[in-house]
């Protein structure tokens, strides 16, 4: 069997509700297509899904030559009808030692014997509904490839972005997160472009919501794409990142995104107290329905390199170690998680993903909130590079790494592989 990974809505037309069709199987059956929900002449959306009984049983029932009683009597009389014999024991290669089998009460391999058994006992599943697709956008009209992230582009917000979102929805990915490449001339030490209601992100949100009202839009809340210093916060003369002043800006940024139609604002800045402040700011403006996904445990990681190239957002000096966490720390993630929970976060995020599975599991065990994992740019690029160099099987490693993030306890995964992996789950080739 080609795959034991569970499929989710594939041929589901994206304009139709995602809640309605969610069938689970091993491979989508090509003959079972949902009607693409086109509007009929009556103006009502129609969806017809015809199920036919197997042809063999259509119409007449074959007349039996013997009655049940006669069949039973024949067996009782010792004349059982023939069935295929038990197949002979497969031969072992010459030279295999002949031994007495071990007396094992438990042979765990029994439950892994066949694809069907393995599928029955699979503990973790993955579906396109678990993915959030991060998309880079810019003011340009062309889509420009990102050198360090093969297959990823800075998308023109008017065209490329809309097309990419449509492709993702085709295979059941209905959640995206936006990252803007901001023109240098709009960057400043205080990052004020971040809350321009007519800035790149709010404009893109409004366009997407206009085209796809049920699309779930996550946004990034942090100053780095807008900061002339490339830091997530305001930098004081002596290099200190100013916490509360930055949070003040982030609140304005989050409200601006919510006003444009964002569903989930996601502070990725790691300032103290920002979740509570953003919650209060959103509520005071009437955005009670807008969620907060907090980057709870975001580590000062070298795996973000390709992302910073994509957005040209490398810090101009120093590093991010006074706000992002030390990769050596585990318990500290709990301190952050307790704060974010108390301040009203709706989702807790761990970042990066694969090197931090223990942190994902820690938060999963300690919190009832949904957990997100971010498979970051460096993780993506490593898999891509390994694939291009033919050192690993890109597709299998991709699917395995995503499954492992789910196994560790992630409900949702932010991944640049979202589209490719969803296509794979739907049985489509690239």
Which residues are tagged catalytic?
298, 351
Nearer residue to ligand PBG within complex by CB, 130 or 375 = 375
Question: Least Å distance between CB 414 and ligand PBG?
Answer: 8
User: Least CB distance from residue 134 to ligand PBG, whole Å?
Assistant: 7
Under the binding rule (CB under 6 A), the answer on residue 246 touching ligand PBG is: no
Rounded to whole angstroms, how far apart are CA atoms 361 and 355? 12
The residue from 377, 381, 401, 415 that contacts ligand PBG (CB under 6 A) is 377
- Measured from the CB of residue 228, what is the shortest distance to ligand PBG in angstroms? 15
Helix (H) or strand (E) holding 360: helix 357-366
Interface mask (CB under 6 A) for ligand PBG, residues 163-202, using x and -?
A: ----------------------------------------
Residue nearest to ligand PBG (CB): 307
- Among the listed residues 418, 415, 396, 299, the one whose alpha carbon sits nearest the alpha carbon of residue 356: 299
249 binds ligand PBG (CB under 6 A): no
Least distance to ligand PBG from the beta carbon of 315, Å? 8
Choose between 222 and 371: whose C-beta lies nearer to ligand PBG: 222
8 A C-beta contact, residue 338 and residue 264: no
Mark residues 69-108: x for contact with ligand PBG by CB under 6 A, - for none: ----------------------------------------
Residue 65 CA to residue 71 CA, distance in Å, equals 10
Exposed/middle/buried for 397, CB within 10 Å: 0-12, 13-18, 19+? middle
Backbone angles phi, psi at 36, to 5 degrees: -70, 20
Between 269 and 336, CB nearer to ligand PBG:
269
Q: Which residues contact 272 (CB under 8 A, 6 or more apart)?
A: 243, 247, 339
Task: Please report how close the Cβ of residue 216 comes to ligand PBG at its closest, in angstroms.
Answer: 18
Quick one: 262 or 426, whose CB is closer to ligand PBG?
Answer: 262
The one-character DSSP state at 144 is E
**Contacts of ligand PBG in 281-340 (CB under 6 A):** 304, 307-308, 320
268 lies in the site for ligand PBG, by CB under 6 A? yes
Binding mask 201-240 for ligand PBG (x = CB under 6 A): -------------------x-x-x-------x--------
Report if residue 376 touches ligand PBG, rule: CB under 6 A.
yes
Residue 373 within binding range of ligand PBG, rule CB under 6 A: no
Residues 16 and 45: beta-carbon distance below 8 Å: yes
Can you tell me the distance from the alpha carbon of 368 to that of 341, in angstroms, rounded to the nearest whole number?
10
| DSSP letter for each residue of 51-71 | ----GGGSSPPPPPSS-HHHH
What minimum distance in Å lies between the beta carbon of 118 and ligand PBG? 33
Query: Of 9 and 306, which has the nearer Cβ to ligand PBG?
Result: 306
Please give the Cα distance from 413 to 320 (Å, whole number).
Answer: 23
The residue (of 157 and 304) whose beta carbon lies closer to ligand PBG is 304
Question: According to the 3-state scheme, what is the secondary structure of 253-295?
Answer: HHHHHHHHCCCEEEECCCCCCHHHHHHHHHHHCCCCCCEEEEE
Q: What minimum distance in Å lies between the beta carbon of 383 and ligand PBG?
A: 13
Other C-beta atoms within 10 Å of 269: how many?
26
Alpha helices in 98-235 (DSSP H): 115-120, 160-170, 200-211
Count the site residues for ligand PBG by CB under 6 A: 12
Residues contacting residue 422 through CB under 8 Å, at least 6 positions apart:
128, 131, 168, 171, 172, 173
Question: Which chain residues interact with ligand PBG by CB under 6 A?
Answer: 220, 222, 224, 232, 268-269, 304, 307-308, 320, 376-377
């Amino acid at each position: 069997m080609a795959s034991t990974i569970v499929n989710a809505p594939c041929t589901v037309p994206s304009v139709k509700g995602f809640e309605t069709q969610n069938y689970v199987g091993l491979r989508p059956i090509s003959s079972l297509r949902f009607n693409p929900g086109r509007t009929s002449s009556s103006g009502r959306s129609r969806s017809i899904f015809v199920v036919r009984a197997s042809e063999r049983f259509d119409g007449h029932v074959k007349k039996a030559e013997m009655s049940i009683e006669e069949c039973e009597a024949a067996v009782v009389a010792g004349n059982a009808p023939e069935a295929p014999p038990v197949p002979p024991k497969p031969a072992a290669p010459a030279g295999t030692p002949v031994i007495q089998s071990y007396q094992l009460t438990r042979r765990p391999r029994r439950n892994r014997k066949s694809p069907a058994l393995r599928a029955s006992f699979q503990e973790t599943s993955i579906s396109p509904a678990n993915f959030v697709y991060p998309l880079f956008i810019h003011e340009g009209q062309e889509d420009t490839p990102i050198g360090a992230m093969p297959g990823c582009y800075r998308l023109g917000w008017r065209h490329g972005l809309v097309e990419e979102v449509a492709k993702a929805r085709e295979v059941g990915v209905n959640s995206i997160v936006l990252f803007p490449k901001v023109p240098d001339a709009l960057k400043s030490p205080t990052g004020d472009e971040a809350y321009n209601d007519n800035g790149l992100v709010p404009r893109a949100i409004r366009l997407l919501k206009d085209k796809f009202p049920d699309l779930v839009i996550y946004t990034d809340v942090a100053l780095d794409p807008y900061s002339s210093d490339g830091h997530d916060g305001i930098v004081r003369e002596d290099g200190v990142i100013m916490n509360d002043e930055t949070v003040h800006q982030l609140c304005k940024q989050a409200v601006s995104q919510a006003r444009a139609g964002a569903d989930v604002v996601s502070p990725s800045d790691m300032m103290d107290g920002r979740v509570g402040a953003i919650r209060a700011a959103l509520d005071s403006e009437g955005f009670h329905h807008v969620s907060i996904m907090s980057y709870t445990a975001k580590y000062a990681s070298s795996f973000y390199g390709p992302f910073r190239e994509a957005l040209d957002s490398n810090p101009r000096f120093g590093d991010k170690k006074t706000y992002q966490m030390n990769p050596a720390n585990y318990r500290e993630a709990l301190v952050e998680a307790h704060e974010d929970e108390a301040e009203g976060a709706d989702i807790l995020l761990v970042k990066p993903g694969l090197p931090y599975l223990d942190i994902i599991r820690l938060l999963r065990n300690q919190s009832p909130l949904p957990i997100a994992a971010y498979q970051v740019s460096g993780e993506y690029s490593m898999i891509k590079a390994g694939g291009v160099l033919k050192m690993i099987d890109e597709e299998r490693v991709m699917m395995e790494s995503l499954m492992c993030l789910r196994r560790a306890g992630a409900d949702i995964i932010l991944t640049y592989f979202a589209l490719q992996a969803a296509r794979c789950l739907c049985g489509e080739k690239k």
